[in-house]
């Protein structure tokens, strides 16, 4: 597998399906990554920023009330929501801004769905003094206006995308168009383990810090590997990051949770591993939600971050090889996970992460008491407060009082 990954493929998935104009930039990125990934100065700079700027390592916390309630395995939260900017996205953007800086790129572009990746990109661009433009579907700028404001305060330009479904898929198209046009001085910080090679591998490597920390913390806290790791999968970067050190390791179940939206049967969901077919989108071959003719379908999820009609090629590979298992959780179930996590553990999780929390119950019960289950809490839910409040009918009005 490793050898194939270096060729830009994970089994039959991955590749480089982009306009010719971009090939040179991808080759440059690949060369630069090969050169710096083991460069002591690069590694030291990244580690220092991870520690001092991001606040790593993030804690591994025993979710004791959920553990008791479910009566199954011990439930542990990997607290990526505590990372600076509030989500795992910062791990990748930090790594990529270091690369962009070494490649001499003065301008950064990114796409964002929920806004977490956009905020993380705007943050690192500010840190390194780069011009930053973030493409965001118009629909998402409405759903996630808090993050739009954060990006602007950080000095980024946010461009609302009004084509197609006006969500993440179209923001990616627009970012690619910008990149094709400004490829000489611009680096495109892709936000997940998608896109043309070498992005899926680079993003995975920068996110693998999550899995490496889980490994070390698990040993310290309960003396061995977890019995399972559960993480949400839109395009799939927090999941790949958490899974990667454990792929193929005996006794560790890796469980990805996709968005079933309004239900798989409704056709309105983001479950490309469950319902997609092999196809090509945004530069890579993977599972894609599409019509029989090959037109890309619009995805739906209550969580803007899972609202994407494809998934990373490495997830497709892990599924195909039986190295990870994938489930899906509806909007309604995710809201239940959101409520449980908030009320029992005092943590408002991102709606993305709430999908993983909901599904964790099933896995915890299957594993049984005494076993250990890690849930990757990929981000915090501040950004989702308005969406969740509306869906749950919770308002700010104070009634009566006592």
Partner 1 sequence: MGGRERLLGAFSKGRPALIPYLTAGYPSLGGAREVAEAYLEAGADVLEVGVPFSDPLADGPTIQDTTARALENGADVDYSLGLAGEFSGRAPVVVLVYYNLIFARGVERFVREAGEAGISGVVIPDLPVDEAGDFARAMEDAGVAFCPLAAPTSTDRRLEEIGRLASGFVYCVSVAGVTGVREKLPPGAVELLRRVRAKVSAPVALGFGIGSAEAAREAAGEADGIIIGSRLMQLVGEGGPERAGRWLQEVRAALSESAGGGH
Which positions lie near partner 1, rule CB under 8 A?
Answer: 15-25, 163-164, 169-170, 173, 176-177, 180-184, 277-283, 285, 288, 290, 292-296
CB 223 to partner 1: min, Å:
47
CB 195 to partner 1: min, Å:
11
CB 306 to partner 1: min, Å:
19
Cβ proximity to partner 1, 46 vs 190, nearer residue: 190
Q: Determine what percent of the chain falls in helix, strand and coil, rounding each to the nearest 5.
A: 50, 20, 30
**377 forms bridges with which residues in the sheet?**
79
> Which of these is catalytic: 213, 275, 378, 383?
378
> Which of these is catalytic: 89, 105, 169, 285?
89
Which helix or strand (DSSP H or E) is residue 285 part of?
Answer: strand 284-288
* 272 flagged as catalytic: no
Q: Can you point out the beta strands (E) in 156-197? A: 157-161, 186-188
CB 34 to partner 1: min, Å:
18
Helix (H, G, I), strand (E, B) or coil at 1: coil
* 366 flagged as catalytic: no
Distance CA 402, CA 397 (A): 15
CB 186 to partner 1: min, Å:
10
Distance CA 67, CA 232 (A): 19
| 279: number of Cβ within 10 Å | 17
Q: b/e for 106-138, b at 16 or more Cβ within 10 A? A: ebbbbbbbbbbbbbbbbbbbbeeebebbbbbbb
* 130 flagged as catalytic: no
Q: Is 226 left (phi over 0), alpha (psi -120 to 50) or beta?
A: beta
Cβ proximity to partner 1, 176 vs 235, nearer residue: 176
Distance CA 330, CA 86 (A): 24
Q: List, in order, residues 6 or more apart from 69 with CB less than 8 Å away.
A: 340, 344
Helix (H, G, I), strand (E, B) or coil at 365: helix
Dmax of the chain from CA atoms?
68
Cβ proximity to partner 1, 16 vs 204, nearer residue: 16
> Which of these is catalytic: 30, 111, 174, 352?
111
CB 122 to partner 1: min, Å:
23
Known catalytic residues are 89, 111, 378
């Amino acid at each position: 597998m490793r050898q194939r990954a270096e060729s830009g493929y994970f089994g039959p998935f991955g590749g480089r399906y982009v306009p010719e104009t971009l090939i040179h930039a991808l080759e440059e990125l690949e060369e630069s990554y090969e050169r710096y990934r083991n460069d002591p100065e690069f590694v030291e700079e990244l580690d220092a920023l991870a520690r001092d700027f991001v606040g790593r390592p993030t804690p591994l916390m025993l979710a004791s009330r959920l553990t008791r309630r479910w009566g199954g395995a011990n439930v542990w939260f990997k607290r990526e929501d505590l990372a600076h900017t509030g989500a795992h996205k910062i791990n990748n953007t930090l790594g990529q801004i270091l690369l962009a800086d070494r490649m001499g790129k003065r301008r950064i572009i990114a796409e964002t769905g929920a806004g977490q990746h956009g905020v993380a990109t705007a943050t690192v661009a500010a840190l390194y003094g780069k011009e930053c433009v973030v493409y965001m579907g118009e629909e998402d700028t409405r759903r996630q206006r808090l993050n739009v404001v954060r990006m602007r305060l950080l000095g980024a330009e946010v461009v609302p995308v009004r084509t197609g479904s006006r969500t993440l898929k179209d923001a990616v198209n627009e970012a690619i168009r910008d990149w094709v046009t400004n490829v000489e001085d611009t680096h495109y910080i892709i936000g997940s383990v998608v896109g043309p090679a070498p992005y899926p591998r680079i993003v995975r490597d920068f996110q693998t810090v999550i899995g490496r920390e889980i490994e070390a913390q698990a040993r310290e806290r309960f003396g061995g590997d977890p019995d399972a790791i559960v993480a949400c999968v839109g395009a799939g970067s927090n999941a790949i990051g958490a899974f990667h050190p454990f792929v193929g390791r005996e006794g560790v179940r890796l469980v990805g949770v996709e968005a079933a939206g309004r239900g798989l049967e409704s056709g309105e969901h983001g479950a490309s591993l469950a319902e997609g077919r092999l196809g090509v989108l945004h530069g890579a071959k993977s599972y894609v939600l599409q019509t029989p003719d090959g037109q890309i379908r619009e995805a739906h999820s209550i969580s803007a971050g899972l609202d994407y009609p494809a998934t990373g090629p490495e997830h497709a590979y892990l599924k195909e090889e039986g190295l990870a298992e994938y489930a899906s959780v509806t909007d309604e179930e995710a809201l239940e996970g959101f409520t449980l996590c908030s009320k029992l553990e005092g943590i408002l999780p991102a709606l993305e992460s709430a999908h993983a929390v909901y599904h964790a119950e099933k896995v915890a019960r299957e594993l049984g008491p005494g076993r250990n289950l890690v849930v990757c809490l990929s981000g915090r839910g501040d950004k989702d407060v308005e969406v969740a409040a509306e869906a749950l009918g919770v308002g700010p009005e104070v009634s009566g009082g006592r």
